Amino acid sequence: MSDRWTAGARDSQAPVRMLCFAHAGGGSSLFLPWRARLGPDVDVCPIVLPGRERRIHEPPYTRMDDLIEDLVPALTPLLDRPYLLFGHSMGALVAYEVARRLRPELLIVSGRRVPGVTGSRHLLGDDEFLEAVAGLGGTPPALFGSPDLVRLFLPCLRADFRLVETYAPADTPPVSCPVTALTGDADPEVSPAQMARWAGLTTGGFSLHVFPGDHFYLKGLPEPVRLTVRDAARGVSAAPARAPRS
């Protein structure tokens, strides 16, 4: 079942696995190039949600609770070694919800304010909505110039924004794993001060790293970002695996 949710062959020899969750509309393409940069010590495992890439004909989720209910059981076979969760933008919220139900050694959140900050961009008309998405960067310009591509990808993008902007986390205790927050210093979506608020959602320790760049500062895995993620993964590989929550 987990094979439906992951992209590419997994590295059975890597001592630590990093489950990666992408931004709205994103899939494995952000993370697959990281394998060569972080291997062989880290098994970079991108998670592919319905509505994109090879799952593009599956209906995307529009509610976080529904997504997590199906996603968490699918991840269980991947938890056979020490692991961390990495989520960028929308993926940070998904990774956080997964961390609340499982017991990762580390949660890395990137480019997203703490849960509970809602919005209404998913209600915009198509032109206004696409303009808002384009303003974030990271989306190939060819997509916006092709009516066929817009028709193909628009439902997934809008569903993802709806999932994020209607997400209201339950009032539960902080996660017990450490949390590392990463962000770009020119991200229009979130400031370093707002990223620092993730410290209040964990009892396991917190660190914040700010890099040059906008919302997609991590694209291509610049060397400072690579070193930060590599060092975090090395710390995880030395930790004993923790059992999932019952």
**Active site (catalytic) residues:** 89
For residues 68 and 102, the answer to whether their CB atoms sit within 8 Å is no
Cis peptide before 40 (omega within 30 of 0): yes
Please identify which residue in the block is written with the tokens 């956080």: 96
- Token representation of residue 2: 């987990």
Closest CA to 108 of 86, 82, 83: 86
Please identify which residue in the block is written with the tokens 């410290």: 199
Residue type, 201: L
Closest CA to 189 of 147, 161, 156: 161
d(CA 178, CA 104): 9
